[in-house]
Amino acid sequence: MHAEAQHELSGESLRTDAPLEHEGKSQNFAPTDLVATALGTCFITIMGIKAKQQGWKLGEINIEVNKIMTKSKPRKIESISLHIKMPPGLRSHQLRVLQKATEDCPVLHNLKDSIKIKIIWVSKKKESLKFFPTHVFRETPKVTFFDAGIDKSNSSDVVIHHGDAVSPPNNGDDEMYYVHHHQIDHNLVLEGSRTFTLLNPEWDEPHHVIFLNPSMGSLQIPINTYHRSISGTKGSMVLNQAIRDEEFDKQKEFKPISLRSSIDLKIAKSADPVYWLWDEGKVKRVKSGGKHVQRKCPNKLKKNYIHSNSLN
């Protein structure tokens, strides 16, 4: 039941084996696996050719191929699904051009009339964080009076940390996060400073650390973004002016989620963070890893972040 095929020009070979459910040991691709795999590799080849013609440098494309066989006779492939993960940072028009190119995949032309084919595209979003500045109405000795309004906000909450608190608190060794599906947060530090960690597996840069202070304005936390915040020893006070949609349900929106609950979340956390901080009167975005971050990230804040993480 083992077979070996050799490519005449390169001398490369590949092997097949019968699947477990069909008298084999599944020690290699089943012959029908190769049919499904041909569709995936053809998609990658076609997109590679198109990117080369356009002069684009394409990162790694990852395609998960799933094949389902018929349950009754005759035994044959019933359906194939391709879950295509495109490289991060792709612009939408590039994605459209590459998707269009795959319509000319010759393997697809051969298979589509006899096999159900499902194609799912996953492209990571290029996302930049937004900060909404406050506008000072009037400042008199020992008094600050400012406009902190957020357009379309329909709810407000205040979270006060008395000392070096964590929101949401850890669950034993578990680092916990909030995530909202029907609420966009706008967090403004009124007093003290607060370090936010944002994780979003759908973003091309999935890990952000924000050293938020009152001067930076309200930090927007988009829907489906996992977030937690930590204060220094002096504590902090944060006003959240949220925008909730009609499906908002407070029973579901404030349930802390463990970092360990999803592999995607753990991968997002392991990515080098993008730091956001207040520097020379502006919100600065600093990519970690380079010399720039060493120079721009205040040591005290970095230490605070490292300390906060070591609490987990």
With respect to Fe ion, which residue has the nearer C-beta, 94 or 225?
A: 225
Size of the site for Fe ion (CB under 5 A): 2
With respect to Fe ion, which residue has the nearer C-beta, 235 or 256?
A: 256
Q: How far is the CB of 266 from Fe ion (least distance, A)?
A: 20
Q: How far is the CB of 178 from Fe ion (least distance, A)?
A: 5
Segment lying near Fe ion (by CB under 5 A), choices 101-109, 151-159, 175-183, 303-311: 175-183
User: Does 178 contact Fe ion by CB under 5 A?
Assistant: yes
With respect to Fe ion, which residue has the nearer C-beta, 43 or 178?
A: 178
Q: Write the DSSP string, the chain.
A: --EEEE-TTT--EEEE---GGGTS---SB-HHHHHHHHHHHHHHHHHHHHHHHHT------EEEEEEEE-SSSSP-EEEEEEEEEEPTT--HHHHHHHHHHHTT-HHHHHHTTTSEEEEEEEE-B-----EE--EEEEEETTEEEEE---TT--EEEEEEESSS-EESPPBTTB-EEB--SSEEEEEEEEEEEEEEEEE-TTBSS-EEEEEE-GGG-EEEE-TT-EEEEEEEEEEEEEEEEEEE-TT--HHHHT--EEGGG-HHHHHHHHSPPEEEEEETTEEEEEETTSHHHHHHS-HHHHHHHHHHHHT-
Segment lying near Fe ion (by CB under 5 A), choices 31-39, 172-180, 265-273, 288-296: 172-180
Q: How far is the CB of 154 from Fe ion (least distance, A)?
A: 15
With respect to Fe ion, which residue has the nearer C-beta, 237 or 293?
A: 237
Per-residue interface string for the shown chain with Fe ion, residues 91-130, x marking contact by CB under 5 A: ----------------------------------------
Q: Which of 77, 185, 195, 218 binds Fe ion (CB under 5 A)?
A: 185
Which residue's beta carbon is nearest to the bound Fe ion? 185
Q: Which residues bind Fe ion (CB under 5 A)?
A: 178, 185
